[in-house]
Amino acid sequence: MWGLSQVLALDTFNDRNNGYLFVGDHCEFGVDIIVVPPPTKWEILSFDEKLSFPKFSWTVKNFSEIKENPYLSDSFSKGGKEWVLELYPKGYSTEDSKWLSIYLSSKEDEKIYVQAEVKVEDPFGSNHLTKQLNWWFDKSCLDCGWDDFVSVAELRKSYLDKEDTLKVEIEFKSWRERPPSSYSIKFQNLSQLQSSTLHSDGKYQSRLFSSGDYQWRMIIYPKGNDKDDGSGFISMYVEIDSTSLKATPPTEIYADIRFFVFNKKENKYLTIQDVDSKPFNTLKTMGGLPQVLALDTFNDHKNGYLFDGDHCEFGVDIIVVPPPTKWEMLSFVKLHYPKFSWTINNFSKIKENPHTSNSFSMGGRKWVLKVYPKGYSTPNSKWLSIYLYLADGEILKNDEKIYVQAQVKVEDPRGSNHLTCKLNWWFNRPGQGYGRDHFVSTAELRKSYLDKKDTLNVEVEFKVVSATNYS
């Protein structure tokens, strides 16, 4: 089993203003499971001349009034690990320092390698302050950062807005060893490639390749796509062949796009994933990222993206999201007559254990009540047990379950001192029951809850019964 223990904060989910609960009390959950195919297509361009960046943004309000040192962000999850950003307004290593210190702290006790970029944003322009972080976190060193990220004087002058707000952002770089599975392009001479694209609007287009039963091209702007805010970056896109859309219904699809840049130094692929699945149709055939990797970083041979002279490699995974084919809808049936009353005559003469009511319908299912005059779990117990069961003959589909919220009552024949027991249970197999083993002692039952004719009155009132429809 694999999944996420912290998907969405309940405070956020339960606040109807946020839109997760709608049309009364409706909500919807889903999952995409995509098995990645092995690499099958590649391309090498020769010249005769010889992690997603998952981000966490932190808005620090009223910075000048902060007393804590350090001042901590909320914890956040990246790469399946928990992290915290730490601000030291008075400095990290020196008390009352004139520098702002920023550190990333791990909440894990295992060895983790992180490559990331920490940024203090310029609220008045684009003169952001950025620093690169490369560190192994382990038990002996759970935090890493900079004692002198920016001087307090410069911070107040250039990086606090008019409302005394500071914005800090961290981008984690993601790496993987496995090559791209949809397509790969290897350039053996980057400078020649850049020269060749001067006559093609600054871009290089691959040949057509197949992924998810559709035809695609990969498009690379080695000097950035200025028309899409890509100046100063490698820009990467994919374009679907519109004729393949017309030939293969549906005429609009969604795809998850993941771009790769090979790094010889790491011997791994830098992975950049678009956050959302992108729609492709005959009017919108292209999608991608204008800012994949900063050119200053890419062009510096020391960083490993250019190797063996002027070689480089780019790739893409295109995972076409299939239309939903499997689903289930859980609803709660509105009950017009939610009560079932059962009069048990001559209770003291009952020999069966259990003694079963007639079946009754509730929420589209048939049920029975069972009383155990001699107890449920212990033979000849001094307690009366009462249980609710799905009736014989009720058939559940594979993995089907039914939620019941109900109240069982033993009536006081002489007044209003009734005995009640609440039931909250998921019934997931035929013959399954749920109830109270020690509902009332036999002595108390005979004293207070049997009338003069030795009659016992039991009632169950259903609050909720679920129903599930499946595709």
In this structure, what CATH number is given to the domain that contains residue 441?
2.60.210.10
Inside any domain, residue 2: no
Instruction: Report the largest interatomic distance among the alpha carbons of the chain, rounded to a whole angstrom.
Output: 110
Is the domain of 86 the same as that of 161?
A: yes
Strands 166-172 and 112-120: antiparallel
Residue at which a domain ends, from 290, 321, 352:
321
Q: How far apart are CA 424 and CA 435, in angstroms?
A: 9
* 205 in the same domain as 343: no
Q: 130 with 198, same domain?
A: no
Report in angstroms the alpha-carbon separations of 185 from 41, 46, 205, 287, 468.
10, 11, 10, 18, 48
- Could you give the C-alpha distances from 279 to 225, 274, 291, in angstroms and in order? 21, 12, 19
Residue pair 43/188 in contact by the 8 Å Cβ criterion: no
Residue 22 domain-assigned (yes or no): no
Q: Domain for residue 17, yes or no?
A: no
Tokens matching residue 277:
């699945």
Does one domain contain both 250 and 339? no
pLDDT of residue 39: 59
Q: Are strands 43-45 and 183-187 parallel, antiparallel or unpaired?
A: parallel
Q: Which ranges constitute the DSSP H helices of 109-172?
A: 152-158
Q: Which residues of 226-256 are buried (b: 16+ CB within 10 A; e: fewer)?
A: eeeebeebbbbbbbbbbebbeeeeeeebbbb
d(CA 436, CA 5): 32
* Contact in structure between 313 and 186 (CB atoms under 8 Å): yes
Low-confidence stretches of the chain (pLDDT < 50) are 46-53
Do residues 467 and 333 lie in contact, with contact meaning Cβ atoms separated by under 8 Å?
yes
- Co-location of 182 and 313 in the same domain: yes
pLDDT at residue 221, rounded to an integer = 94
CB-count exposure of residue 77 (10 Å: 0-12, 13-18, 19+): middle
Q: How far apart are CA 418 and CA 448, in angstroms?
A: 10
Residues 300 and 367 in one domain: no
What does the DSSP assignment read for 343-394? Answer: EESSGGG---SSEEPPPEEETTEEEEEEEETT-SSSTT-SEEEEEEEEPTT-
Give the pLDDT of residue 52. Answer: 45
Task: Supply angle C-alpha 150, 153, 156, rounded to 5.
Answer: 90
Q: Are residues 263 and 412 in the same domain?
A: no
Same domain, 300 and 372: no
5 in a structural domain: no
Question: How many CA atoms within 13 Å lie on the side-chain side of 49?
Answer: 10
Residue 200's domain comprises 34-50+177-321
24 within some domain: no
In a domain, 431, yes or no: yes
Residue closest to 58 by CA, chosen among 218, 143, 166, 185:
166
pLDDT on residue 409: 94
pLDDT at 38: 65
Q: What is the pLDDT of residue 383?
A: 92
Domain total of the chain: 3
Tens of pLDDT, residue by residue over 328-377, are 888 888 788 899 999 999 999 999 999 999 999 998 899 999 999 998 88
Residues in the chain: 471
Question: Of the candidates 321, 337, 369, which is a domain's last residue?
Answer: 321
Question: Which tokens in the block code for residue 200?
Answer: 């093609």
Do 463 and 420 share a structural domain?
yes
Contacts of 276 (CB under 8 A, 6+ apart): none
pTM score, whole prediction: 0.49
Closest CA to 295 of 239, 227, 220: 220
Give the phi and the psi of residue 427 in degrees, each rounded to 5: -90, 120
- Are 65 and 162 contained in the same domain? yes
Residue 18 lies in a domain: no
Q: Which of 273, 297, 321 is the last residue of a domain?
A: 321
10 found inside a domain: no
Q: How far apart are CA 333 and CA 403, in angstroms?
A: 10
**Whether residue 304 is found in the same domain as residue 341:** no
Question: For residue 407, what are the β-bridge partners?
Answer: 422, 461
Residues 155-206 have pLDDT tens digits of: 999 999 999 999 999 988 777 888 999 999 999 988 888 887 776 788 999 9
The answer to whether residues 190 and 128 belong to one domain is: no
